[in-house]
């Protein structure tokens, strides 16, 4: 079988972006690849497909080229793909190659209009928009990749290389995920039984309704007593603003004025030294006129007061309501034709911000952004944030005030991955100073967030993908290798690996993953060559070991291990190893049946985080 796809580029033609192609004679080609927007040197599916096309074209005296589409908001659209198909048809294309699920709708909606062209759809089956029911088009040949065999190779390699505590990180309701996990179990069991070593396997699906796992976490504002400090400390008193506290010399503190009272706008900061013998001008602030500025703490106590002045002309208010519209969350005072920045209150659990509602004539720069600007204000403005149930996972943060704090720390709420989160601690009690932020989930584990400054009373961070917590927990309990085959959240395992130790292993499937211990690759290049050599429209073929449709990026430097892997690969290719197929995409049903039948003497299969559920 093939361990590596040879790097072979088609030299007779060079690909280009649609808008940049001007010479029609340059476009004539027998075989055309339309990439998913990536390049043919991406180290992934596009490159693999292009290498297969190039190789076949060179061996059969055919011409080939590729198009790299310009994406629409990072997405491939049917309308855009049809332009490339039309251009290819005008220039004599016999075959058009479409790599991946992103092209499934295009294959269904476009291919039938070009009956003389043979379409090859890799790793997907045509379907209509909004309905993933498989559709078969007479001039489309589809390729799927055997996830059972892919998982088997991953499990077999893992145990051969000495991993005896394994984890499978799966996706509920995905047939591809279920079969990948089932193959992983069977491959690990095959190796464990042949070697006579005990192996444990923990299986968890991040989105299973049976999953008893709490993704929420708590951020605590921590304080310490001043008399415990070895450095000199100085007291900062902020009047009508945020930033009061006791700080060590050299601290850089953000000072922010409170919203202006009705009819007023922020004017300037008044600064006073509270230490005898130190002049006021020694209080080192970055600006007297910016409502939010920095203070560099010097050797003195100080009082910093926000002052306000009357608005010139007509004064208007901008009222940001709570989600139910019952009260004001924020109130801003603005002059006529003025503008102001607005922020929606944090979403409640399992909700996300959707848009702003208002009857005002004022302009909202981005009505769909929780953080935006209101301009051209000529009347009082009332803005109500509208929240909807989240289509993507939300994770809840509880911000609490630790011992020594005085009041409520802010930032609690529901967030999706990559949301911008701001947390502000409550002022310290007398005799205390803010120290740092701590965060932990329900199980006492680190959450993986990276604060801009964990030692500043006001700081920010981007919300992380909390599904990594499942993998974190597996690693905490001794698992040394996690397989992610078929899981659309596979990146969570790499996030977890980064949280822990790079000696821990993530095993991937499908596309080459540079941080993976090994990846079981879907060999697009070989699949393309097989379809070009024997095109059969309206059919689906499975790429597997018998077609060299799968290969591992790394097995072992040990010749004995490599030999054992080669032997098992050949047995899979020859059909000498039969695998249990998952029925209906239910990974849990497979696990339950596997434990009931007990086909392995050495592998123990566990279900994790399942409340009242057992695989046995």
Confidence of residue 26 (pLDDT cuts 50, 70, 90): low
Q: Are 292 and 257 in contact (CB under 8 A)?
A: yes
Burial (CB count <10 Å: 0-12, 13-18, 19+), residue 75: exposed
Mean pLDDT of 496-512: 84
Q: Which residues contact 277 (CB under 8 A, 6 or more apart)?
A: none
* Number of neighbours of residue 451 by Cβ within 10 angstroms: 17
Query: What does the alpha-carbon distance between residue 238 and residue 477 come to, in Å, rounded to a whole number?
Result: 47
- Please report the pLDDT score of residue 212 as a whole number: 75
Burial (CB count <10 Å: 0-12, 13-18, 19+), residue 29: buried
- Please report the pLDDT score of residue 23 as a whole number: 40
Query: What does the alpha-carbon distance between residue 565 and residue 195 come to, in Å, rounded to a whole number?
Result: 13
Query: What does the alpha-carbon distance between residue 10 and residue 53 come to, in Å, rounded to a whole number?
Result: 8
Instruction: Please say if the pLDDT value at position 110 is more than 80.
Output: yes
- Please report the pLDDT score of residue 615 as a whole number: 60
Query: What does the alpha-carbon distance between residue 589 and residue 605 come to, in Å, rounded to a whole number?
Result: 13
* Number of neighbours of residue 551 by Cβ within 10 angstroms: 21
Top-confidence residue, 469 or 141? 141
pLDDT tens digits, residue range 401-410? 999 999 999 9
Cα 611 to chain centroid, rounded: 27
- Please report the pLDDT score of residue 191 as a whole number: 98
Instruction: Please say if the pLDDT value at position 227 is more than 80.
Output: no
Instruction: Please say if the pLDDT value at position 214 is more than 90.
Output: no
Q: Which residues contact 61 (CB under 8 A, 6 or more apart)?
A: none
Instruction: Please say if the pLDDT value at position 425 is more than 80.
Output: yes
Range with the largest mean pLDDT of 48-57, 335-344, 467-476, 487-496: 48-57
Mean pLDDT of 577-604: 88
What are residue 255's phi and psi, to 5 degrees?
-115, 125
What are residue 44's phi and psi, to 5 degrees?
-130, -140
Confidence of residue 503 (pLDDT cuts 50, 70, 90): confident
Confidence of residue 231 (pLDDT cuts 50, 70, 90): low
Mean pLDDT of 514-533: 94
Percentage of the chain exceeding pLDDT 70 = 93
* Number of neighbours of residue 58 by Cβ within 10 angstroms: 15
Instruction: Please say if the pLDDT value at position 253 is more than 80.
Output: yes
- Please report the pLDDT score of residue 274 as a whole number: 95
Mean pLDDT of 533-544: 96
pLDDT tens digits, residue range 85-95? 999 999 999 99
E runs forming strands in 411-503 = 413-416, 420-424, 432-441, 458-462, 481-483
Confidence of residue 19 (pLDDT cuts 50, 70, 90): very low
* Number of neighbours of residue 368 by Cβ within 10 angstroms: 11
Instruction: Please say if the pLDDT value at position 24 is more than 50.
Output: no
- Please report the pLDDT score of residue 610 as a whole number: 54
Query: What does the alpha-carbon distance between residue 232 and residue 216 come to, in Å, rounded to a whole number?
Result: 38
Q: Which residues contact 219 (CB under 8 A, 6 or more apart)?
A: 397, 398, 399, 400, 411, 423, 437, 438, 439
- pTM for this predicted structure: 0.76
Q: Which residues contact 513 (CB under 8 A, 6 or more apart)?
A: 490, 494, 506, 519
Instruction: State the angle between helix axes of 45-59 and 524-533 in degrees (0 to 180), rounded to the nearest 10.
Output: 40
DSSP conformation class of 70: P
Confidence of residue 21 (pLDDT cuts 50, 70, 90): very low
The two three-digit tokens of residue 591, written as one number: 């696990």
3 state DSSP class of 576: coil
Top-confidence residue, 445 or 187? 187
Mean pLDDT of 315-333: 88
* Number of neighbours of residue 228 by Cβ within 10 angstroms: 9
Mean pLDDT (the chain) is: 88
The two three-digit tokens of residue 583, written as one number: 């029925």
The two three-digit tokens of residue 403, written as one number: 């011992």
- Please report the pLDDT score of residue 4 as a whole number: 32
How, if at all, do strands 603-607 and 199-205 pair? Answer: parallel
Furthest-apart CA atoms within the chain: distance in Å: 92
Helix (H) or strand (E) holding 522: strand 518-522
Range with the largest mean pLDDT of 182-191, 213-222, 368-377, 430-439: 182-191
CA torsion through residues 80, 82, 88, 90, sign: negative
Q: Are 456 and 139 in contact (CB under 8 A)?
A: no
- Please report the pLDDT score of residue 609 as a whole number: 57
Instruction: Please say if the pLDDT value at position 7 is more than 50.
Output: no
Confidence of residue 213 (pLDDT cuts 50, 70, 90): confident
Q: Are 120 and 144 in contact (CB under 8 A)?
A: no
Mean pLDDT of 524-541: 96
Confidence of residue 613 (pLDDT cuts 50, 70, 90): low
Range with the largest mean pLDDT of 23-37, 209-223, 265-279, 441-455: 265-279
């Amino acid at each position: 079988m093939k361990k590596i796809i040879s790097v072979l580029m088609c030299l007779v033609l060079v690909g280009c972006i649609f808008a940049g192609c001007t010479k029609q004679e340059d476009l004539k080609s027998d075989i055309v690849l339309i990439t998913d927007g990536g390049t043919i040197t991406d180290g992934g599916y596009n490159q693999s497909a292009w290498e297969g096309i190039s190789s076949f074209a060179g061996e059969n005296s055919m011409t080939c080229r590729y198009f790299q589409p310009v994406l629409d908001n990072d997405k491939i659209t049917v309308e855009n793909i049809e332009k490339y198909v039309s251009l290819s048809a005008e220039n004599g294309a016999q075959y058009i190659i479409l790599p991946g699920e992103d092209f499934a709708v295009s294959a269904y909606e476009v291919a039938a209009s070009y009956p003389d062209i043979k379409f090859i759809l890799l790793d997907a089956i045509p379907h209509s928009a909004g309905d993933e029911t498989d559709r078969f088009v007479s001039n489309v040949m589809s390729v799927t990749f055997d996830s059972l065999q892919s998982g088997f190779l991953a499990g077999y390699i893992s145990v051969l290389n000495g991993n005896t505590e394994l984890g499978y990180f799966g996706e509920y309701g995905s047939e591809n995920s279920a079969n990948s996990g089932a193959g992983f179990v069977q491959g690990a069991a095959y190796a464990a039984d042949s070697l006579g070593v005990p192996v444990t396997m923990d299986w968890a699906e991040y989105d299973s309704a049976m999953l008893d796992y709490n993704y929420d976490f708590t951020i605590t504002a921590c304080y310490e007593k001043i008399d415990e400090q070895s450095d000199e400390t100085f007291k900062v008193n902020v009047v009508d603003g945020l930033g009061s506290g006791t700080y060590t010399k050299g601290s850089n503190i953000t000072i922010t004025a409170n919203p202006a009272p009705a009819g007023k706008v922020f004017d300037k900061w008044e600064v006073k030294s509270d230490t005898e013998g130190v002049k006021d001008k020694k209080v080192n602030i970055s600006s007297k006129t910016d409502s939010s500025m920095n203070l560099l703490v010097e050797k003195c106590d100080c009082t910093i007061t926000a002052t306000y002045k009357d608005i010139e002309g007509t004064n208007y208010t901008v009222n940001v309501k709570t989600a139910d519209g019952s009260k004001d969350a924020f109130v801003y005072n603005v002059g006529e034709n003025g503008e102001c920045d607005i922020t929606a209150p944090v979403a409640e659990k399992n909700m996300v911000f959707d848009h702003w509602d208002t009857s005002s004539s004022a302009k909202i720069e981005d009505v769909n952004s929780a953080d935006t600007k209101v301009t051209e204000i000529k009347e009082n403005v009332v803005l109500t944030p509208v929240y909807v149930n989240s289509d993507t996972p939300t994770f809840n943060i509880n911000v609490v005030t630790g011992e020594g704090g005085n009041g409520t720390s802010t930032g609690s709420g529901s967030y999706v991955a990559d949301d911008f989160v701001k947390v502000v601690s409550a002022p310290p009690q007398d005799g205390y100073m803010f120290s740092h932020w701590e965060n932990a989930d329900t199980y006492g584990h680190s959450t993986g967030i990276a604060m801009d400054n964990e030692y500043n009373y006001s700081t920010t961070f981007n919300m992380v993908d909390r599904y990594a917590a499942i993998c974190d927990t597996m690693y905490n309990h001794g698992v040394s290798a996690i397989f992610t085959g078929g899981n659309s959240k596979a990146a969570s395992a790499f996030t977890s690996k980064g949280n822990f130790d790079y000696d821990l292993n993530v095993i991937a499937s499908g596309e080459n993953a540079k941080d993976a211990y090994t990846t079981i690759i879907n060999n697009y290049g070989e699949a393309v060559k097989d379809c070009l050599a024997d095109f059969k429209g309206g059919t689906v073929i499975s790429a597997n070991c018998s077609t060299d449709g799968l290969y591992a990026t790394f097995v072992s430097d040990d010749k004995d291990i490599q030999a054992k892997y080669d032997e098992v690969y050949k047995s899979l290719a020859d059909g000498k190893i039969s695998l249990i197929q998952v029925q209906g995409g239910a990974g849990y049903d497979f696990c339950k049946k596997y434990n009931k039948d007990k086909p392995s003497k050495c592998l123990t299969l566990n279900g994790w985080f399942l409340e009242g559920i057992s695989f046995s």
